[in-house]
Amino acid sequence: SQQGEEDPQALSIQEGENATMNCSYKTSINNLQWYRQNSGRGLVHLILIRSNEREKHSGRLRVTLDTSKKSSSLLITASRAADTASYFCATDEGGGFKTIFGAGTRLFVKA
Amino acid sequence: GAGVSQSPSNKVTEKGKDVELRCDPISGHTALYWYRQSLGQGLEFLIYFQGNSAPDKSGLPSDRFSAERTGGSVSTLTIQRTQQEDSAVYLCASRPPTGGGNTIYFGEGSWLTVV
């Protein structure tokens, strides 16, 4: 089952521009996480935002969470070619341990 | 090892054969997950194990798929009578016990090609 849905499915931008990706989910959550995947291999954790938080920053990453709309956004500022990857949101279905990932956004940053 | 280890990295098998994919989680992690990812697609949840509880098998696509976790550590995902649509990357991940953080740590995946 897919808990999260990301949009856009793909995003192509120039180096230096900001990239915004959105995620929606269906059930109640304790937290929401964003992961990055290079070349179809293992995912790497980027940032976690708890259900009682509205915004969180980590370096060039900014995550927002709106639990009333069941949605989150990931903003990457001043993008670099090395940011080219797929980005996924993940939530624990029903607040348990069953972690479900969205369909992902494929980001292309052109140098 | 320090990370989640999966083997084999790549497997080519003939349609109808059985395959076994192995996952060694991070030591001490109580939760272990299997996901499937077809080319260019998202992660499809297959199954997860949490401590000594019964596994959540709700994502297994058919009865040809099964998984076990021995001794609370190593896990094996078995696909019987493989079909071409089973071709995908199979990703394993593990997670610390409750209170140890929510981050899931992934292996590099096993790429399965059924010909």
Instruction: Put residue B109 in one of left, alpha, beta given phi > 0 → left and psi -120 to 50 → alpha.
Output: left
CA distance A64 to A20: 11
Nearest to A40 by CA among B48, B89, B106: B89
Q: Compare all CA atoms of chain B with the CA of A38 and give the residue at the minimum distance.
A: B108
Reported confidence tier of residue B72, pLDDT bands at 50, 70, 90: confident
Mean pLDDT of B45-64: 93
Task: Tell me the two tokens of residue B47.
Answer: 């199954």
Nearest to A21 by CA among A4, A33, A9, A38: A9
How confident is the model over B29-42, as pLDDT tens digits? 999 999 999 988 88
Question: Is B7 at the interface with chain A, CB within 8 A?
Answer: no
33-62 in B: which are within 8 Å (CB) of A?
33, 35, 37, 39-45, 48, 50, 56, 58-59
Reported confidence tier of residue B100, pLDDT bands at 50, 70, 90: low
State the 10-residue block means of pLDDT for chain A, 111 residues long: 70 96 90 90 92 96 96 97 96 82 94 92
pLDDT of residue B99: 65
pLDDT of residue B102: 78
Does residue B56 register a pLDDT over 60? yes
DSSP string, A71-104: EEEEEE-S--GGG-EEEEEEEEGGGSS-EEE---
pLDDT of residue A2: 42
Question: Is B109 at the interface with chain A, CB within 8 A?
Answer: yes
